[in-house]
Amino acid sequence: MVGTGYVGLVYAVCMAELGHVITAIDIDEQKIATLAAGTTTIYEPGLEELLRKSLSSGRLRFTTEYDVADADFIFIAVSTPSTPEGAADLRHVRDAVRRIGEHTHGAHPIIVNKSTAPVGTSETLDYLFAAQNGVGGQEFEIVANPEFLREGSAVQDFFHPDRIVLGGRDEAATRAVAELYAPLNAKVIFTDPKTAEMIKYASNAFLATKISFINEIASICEGAGANVADVAYAMGLDERIGARFLNPGLGFGGSCLPKDVRALTYLATVYGAHPQLLNAVLQINADQRRRVIRMLREALGSLESRVITLLGVAFKPGTDDIREAPSVDIARLLINEGAEVRAYDPFALAAFGAAFPRAELASDAYAAATGADAIVIATEWDEFRAIDLDRLRGLVRTPLIADCRNVLDRERVLEAGFACFGVGTAMAGREFLVLPAPPPTTRAGVPITSAGVVAS
C-alpha cells in the first residue's frame, strides 16, 4: 500500500483484517513510526483498535522503504490535491510510479490505483511505467479501483460497501483484484478503466449537487416563510430522491467532494463540455459560508472586536479533518472583519489551532461560550444537540446563536433567551439583542488592526 493518508491507512488496516499480508509505505518517517507503534494519525472510529490487532497478528507492517519486489499487488493511494485551475495534481502519483519501477526488480505485480485521479489516469500510468521500463507498457497490469469511504464511518464502509468498482483491460488481473475483496460478499462492477474513474467523480459530484440543491431550497424557504426541514423530510420519502444528503447546512467540505467537483469541472472544460451545473454547485457551497457572516454582521452591527465562538470545526462529525471545512472559511472571513475567533471541537482542535494560531481554543463548549458575542454551530456533533441552553445563556456576552446545522430546537433556544437563526430560517428573538459595546480594540495593551491581527 503506497501512501498512508486517509485512504491508504484505512485500506491497509482493513485489508489486513481480511487476512492479507500488507506492507504500508510512506516517505513520512514520523508518521510511519507513529503507525508502527499502534497509534493512528487520523481520528476514525474503530480504526486504532484494528490497527493494533493487525500489527499484533503480523499481517501489517509499516516502512519508509519501497519494499515491493515480492508484492503480488501494489495499491497506489497517494493524494491528488487540486491545482490552482482545479485539476487533480498527479505529482505524488508520478513519484509513486517512479519509485515502484525502481524497486520491482523485474517482478510483475498488478498495480491497483485507488488515488482519485482524472479519467484516463490508468493510461497515463501505463505510459509512465512504459517510459521508465522500456517494455511497451506491458510489464504491469493496471486496475482502477476507486474508493467510496465516508470519513467518520470509513471502517464500516470498507466492510459493508455499496459496491466495488474495478476497471481493467486484462480480465485475469481485474478478477484477481476482485478476489481480494471476496470475503466482503459485495457487488462488484467490472468495467473499463476510464469508466471506473468516471464513476468516482460522477458519484461525488452528484452528492455535492444534492447538498447544494437543498441549501438553495433553504434560501428560498427563508424568503418565502416555508419550513425547509419539512420540505427535506417529505422530499426524502420519495424513493426516487432519498433522504441522504438532504440536510441543509453549511455545505460540503472535506478532502473529496470539493476537490472532485472542481476536478470534474476542469475535465469538462478540457473536453469541450459546459459545466454550468457543477459551477453552480461550487458557488452555492461558497455562498453558504458567506451568508453566516452577513447574518452575524446584521445582528451585531459590526464584527470588529466581537468574540465569535465556533462550536465544531471538523468538516463533519466523526473525524478530526478540517480540510475545506466550513469552519475554516468562516474563521477566515471573521478574522478579516476584525472578529476574535474562539473554537471548541472534541477532536479537531489541534488541526484548527495550527491553521489559526491566534484563535483561542477552549476545553469544552461552555468555556468556548464564556463572554462570546455569538455562537456558531458549525459541526453537528451530538454533544451540541444536548447542550444546556440555560447554562449557556448565563455565560455569553450577547445572546445570539447561529445554528448553521439546524440541530437545536428553535423554540427551546428562544425560551432560553437567545436570538437565533439557522439555515433556511430568518432571525428570531431580536428583542434579546441588547448589544453591549464591543470589547477594547487592544489585546494585552497592543493595538489591533482592522483585520484583527496584532499590530507590529
Same domain, 75 and 172: yes
Same domain, 336 and 279: no
178 within domain boundaries: yes
Among the listed residues 386, 423, 433, 418, the one whose alpha carbon sits nearest the alpha carbon of residue 403: 423
The pLDDT of residue 449: 37
454 within domain boundaries: no
In which region does residue 58 sit, left (phi positive, over 0), alpha (psi from -120 to 50) or beta (all else)? left
The pLDDT of residue 358: 94
Q: Is 416 exposed, middle or buried (0-12, 13-18, 19+ CB in 10 A)?
A: buried
The pLDDT of residue 456: 30
Q: Quick one: cell of 372?
A: 462570546
Contact status, residue 191 vs residue 122, Cβ threshold 8 Å: no
Same domain, 331 and 431: yes
Among 262, 284, 306, give the residue marking a domain's end. 284
Same domain, 27 and 106: yes
CA distance 32 to 30: 5
342 within domain boundaries: yes
Residue-number span of the structural domain to which 330 is assigned: 289-447
207 within domain boundaries: yes
Same domain, 156 and 11: yes
Same domain, 132 and 247: no
Q: Hey, what amino acid is at 372?
A: A
The pLDDT of residue 438: 66
Question: Looking at residue 307, which CATH number applies to its domain?
Answer: 3.40.50.720
404 is catalytic: no
453 within domain boundaries: no
Into how many domains does the chain fold?
3
Same domain, 297 and 380: yes
Q: Which of these is catalytic: 221, 256, 404, 420?
A: 256
CA distance 453 to 338: 8
Q: Quick one: cell of 236?
A: 426524502
Same domain, 143 and 183: yes
Question: Looking at residue 260, which CATH number applies to its domain?
Answer: 1.10.1040.10
Same domain, 215 and 274: yes
The pLDDT of residue 441: 52
Residue whose C-alpha cell reads 449557556 in the numeric block? 392
Same domain, 56 and 117: yes
Q: Is 94 exposed, middle or buried (0-12, 13-18, 19+ CB in 10 A)?
A: middle
Q: What is the mean pLDDT of each run of 10 residues along the chain (456 residues)?
A: 96 97 96 97 96 97 92 94 87 90 83 90 84 60 95 96 96 97 97 96 97 97 94 97 96 93 94 95 96 96 96 96 97 97 97 96 97 98 97 97 96 97 92 74 42 35
Strand 164-168 and strand 141-144: pairing? antiparallel
98 within domain boundaries: yes
> Residue 451, Cβ neighbours under 10 Å: how many?
11
The pLDDT of residue 439: 62
Among 259, 284, 309, give the residue marking a domain's end. 284
Residue whose C-alpha cell reads 449537487 in the numeric block? 209
Same domain, 361 and 420: yes
Among 191, 219, 238, give the residue marking a domain's end. 191
Same domain, 64 and 183: yes
In which region does residue 324 sit, left (phi positive, over 0), alpha (psi from -120 to 50) or beta (all else)? left
